[in-house]
Amino acid sequence: MVESTDKRLLQRESLLRISRALTQQLDTARVLELVIEVAVDLLAGTSGLIALPDPDGVMAVAAASALPA
């Protein structure tokens, strides 16, 4: 029960960080970096990325966190 409550609190704090960034930042790249960092942390991952289509429809990495070299 306590673990579940702690996890929910962490999720809410993470969403609050993203919400603050969305209202404070006009820099889309910085917001995407924060989103991927929070997502990797919440999912207990080791790395992650966000890919968005470029004008030609080709997927390109828009933000990444701890990708292997």
Domain of residue 20 covers 2-65
User: What's the total number of domains in the chain?
Assistant: 1
Count of Cβ atoms closer than 10 Å to residue 57 Cβ = 6
pTM of structure: 0.72
Mean pLDDT of the chain: 89
Residue indicated by tokens 């029960």? 1
pLDDT at 40 over 80: yes
Average pLDDT in the 41-67 region? 94
What is residue 47's predicted lDDT score, i.e. its pLDDT?
A: 94
| 66 phi and psi angles, rounded to 5 deg | 55, 40
- Tokens of residue 21, six digits: 């960034």
